[in-house]
Structure 1
Amino acid sequence: MRSVVVEDLRKSYGSVHAVRGVSFDVEQGEIFALLGPNGAGKSTTLEILEGFRKRDSGTVEVLGMDPGSRADGRELRERIGLVLQDIAVEPYLTVRETITRAAGYYRTPRDVGEVIELVDLAGKEKQKVRNLSGGQKRRLDLALGVIGDPDLLFLDEPTTGFDPNARRGAWELVRRLRDTGTTILLTTHYMEEAQQLADRVAVIAAGRIVSEGTPATLGGRDSAKARIRFALPEGCTAEDLPVADAVLAEGLVTVEADEPTEALHRLTGWALDRGAVLDRLSVDRPSLEDVYLSLTGESGPASGDEPADGPATTDSATTKSAGRKTGSPEPVLERSAR
């Protein structure tokens, strides 16, 4: 069953074509990463999925509903969670007060105490938001995204500003959410994050999806040539090596091979015969970052997202939670453009 279906999505701002026939889908219960440089069309695509912007053409379904339909708006926002780059919260409220207030906008929210535990803010319940560290504030953002017990969670650069330990803790939280059945659509600039979390990845550049697959197979990673790298032993030249097409650059030799076993056997045997050491020896295939840079290297911002001076649509300021209690004030949330 698919939680998100996008077919031939198109959106322009005047003469600027932000999204040019984008198609992809997200399966229920998976973590799907949408990667792309600034100006590639990623922001516009997500804003359309979240109901913040109107599309020009194409088919979009989110949890079986049209995010551009006013009739579906309330139910959709009741079933999705948003963790954006910037969420405005009252700095003088405590952590518990902030999450409790957000819970009131949903008909069937998760237990506040359970969510506090889930995002590792236990012990911080009485601390005011203004006194939280950057990482703690980001965990509070996550709490506000999941308090409504969403079927689909949008995570926009969820670990920006985290130190390595905090980032890995956030990854574990995202995995726990997935394991409880939440579908997650993730954007990130950290390739390691996509590698660690995503079941599937799509790369968008110049308004089009240029590659899609698992982190291991994206862009042909699994079938790319292996790279053997090592420091050239002192007194030797690249021509002395027992393999063809060895390239020396910045003190390291690189040898590419479809299957590295034979080439590696030749090189180590040659080194042993000479009594030499192949320092800094490594064997790998192109990383996800290598593939990403290759796929997006020719794209430019000129054909990407909405121009900085372009008019926001009437959807660009919308509510985070349409399923609020009758008569309760509803927070207005501006979708930050990337």
Structure 2
Amino acid sequence: MTGDRHIQVVIVGGGQAGLAAGYHLRRLGVDFVILDAQSGPGGAWQHAWDSLHLFSPAAFSSLPGRLMPPQAGEEYPDAEHVVAYLRAYEKRYELPVERPVRVHGVHRDGPALRVETDSGTWHARVVISATGTWWRPFLPAVPGRSAFEGRQLHTVDYRRPQDFTGRRVIVVGGGNSGAQIAADLAHDTHLTWVTQRPPRFLADDIDGRALFDAATARRRALDEGSIDTGGVASLGDIVAVPPVREARDRGLLKAGPMFSGLTPGGAEWADGTRAEADAIIWCTGFRPALSHLAPLRLRGRRGHIATAGTTRAVDEPRLHLLGYGDWTGPASATLIGVGRTARDAARQIRDFLR
């Protein structure tokens, strides 16, 4: 359908954050639509690598209103199970998702925000941006990166270890993605894992439940003006999910220091050490996918949009940002964490609309 349409709230993004916002807006009687660029439900989870698993059991990885059912034979559900859950969640609550709809820009237009898409224009009193970060992978400016003649991938491009069997692979990154992909490749490739600092594994009994509690406690302390607890970063960087734990305990998961640059055939370090490589996988994180908000001119020097009350944009009170990480709510980029922030944002929006 094309043409101009008017509605109270437009949610941009139909992944976990967009669905959580929709759930709470529906409960409050607010009229909304979710515009999703993907061809089907599941958000970024439908594009994850084959072996990716959650950090927490299903019951502790749920959106508001409905527990994620357990996955047979798995303590920590895989990405396919998450996609099925999100699909069922969307259907259960009859959330009004239109897809595939790509939002080109959000503009100020008198009392409304004008949302331009590839299938028409929406006029909304409030916009919730819930596009996440998966769609904007970050690659560091490393000397020689353009000269490397092998294959270069980011986390978003990696799928399965069989694609690299017998090959020389360098995995870059000391976070969860780097550790999980390195563990995936540790058995049947010639693996070199490099990190900016020695990897910090969390205690084996810590999973997403403890991480959410830590993030929430830090946010509460900051809001109360207390000493910064450090949040998740104080515990470590890598959750020791079973595949990572197994590779680590077998001595297959040993990280070396970050290289100083790339050569046509591999990597080199400041002391003259070299390593040949057929492929480099950059597990170097993401940036918020906010290009659709560019017409509003809200971004600061570091790329973030200043918010108040966690999600509301300081310089545009008709815009809320949800699910981009701790700066838009404690653990808001996780399944378990986004619900609370979505609830608070929905209540603020209801009051604003009144």
**Do they fold alike, i.e. is TM over 0.5?**
no
TM range (shorter): under 0.3
By relative contact order (CA 8 Å, sep 6+), the higher-ranking structure is 1
The structure that has the greater radius of gyration is: 1
TM-score by length of 1: 0.21
